[in-house]
């Protein structure tokens, strides 16, 4: 499993969520198997998104599409700064 972790400041969660829900890059069609939206408990102006893919190629293609979205203020109206991105793979997991 390959995960794309995106972290960035936002201007408004409600505005960001509306843009996220518009799904401008077709998450499912891009190979996203599951996603999680996370927010620090002490920072409502920051968001983290984990998106799981089967392959690193799908993850890389998705990021290319997302960079086009982030470059457009109309498509990313609540973006409050440059996104930080990491493509990672799970090496261990355990349910306790």
Give residue 75's pLDDT.
85
Mean pLDDT of 4-23: 96
User: Is the distance from CB of 92 to CB of 43 less than 8 angstroms?
Assistant: no
Laid out side by side, the sheet with 84-89 consists of: 34-38, 46-53, 2-9, 84-89
CATH number for the region 2-83 comes to 3.30.70.860
pLDDT tens per residue, range 36-76 = 999 999 999 999 999 999 999 999 999 999 999 999 988 88
Calpha distance 12→31 (Å, rounded): 28
The pTM of this model reads: 0.92
16-18-20-26 Cα dihedral, nearest 10 degrees: -160
| Separation in Å, CA 45 to CA 33, 34, 48, 64, 72 | 26, 23, 11, 24, 20
């Amino acid at each position: 499993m390959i995960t794309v972790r995106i972290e960035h400041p936002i201007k408004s969660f409600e505005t960001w969520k509306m843009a996220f829900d518009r799904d401008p890059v077709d998450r499912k069609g891009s190979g996203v198997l599951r996603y999680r939206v996370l927010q620090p408990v002490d920072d409502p102006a920051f968001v983290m998104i984990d998106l799981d893919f089967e392959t690193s190629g799908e993850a890389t293609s998705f990021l290319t599409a997302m960079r086009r979205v982030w470059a457009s203020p109309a498509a990313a109206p609540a973006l409050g700064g440059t996104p930080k991105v990491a493509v990672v793979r799970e090496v261990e997991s355990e349910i306790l």
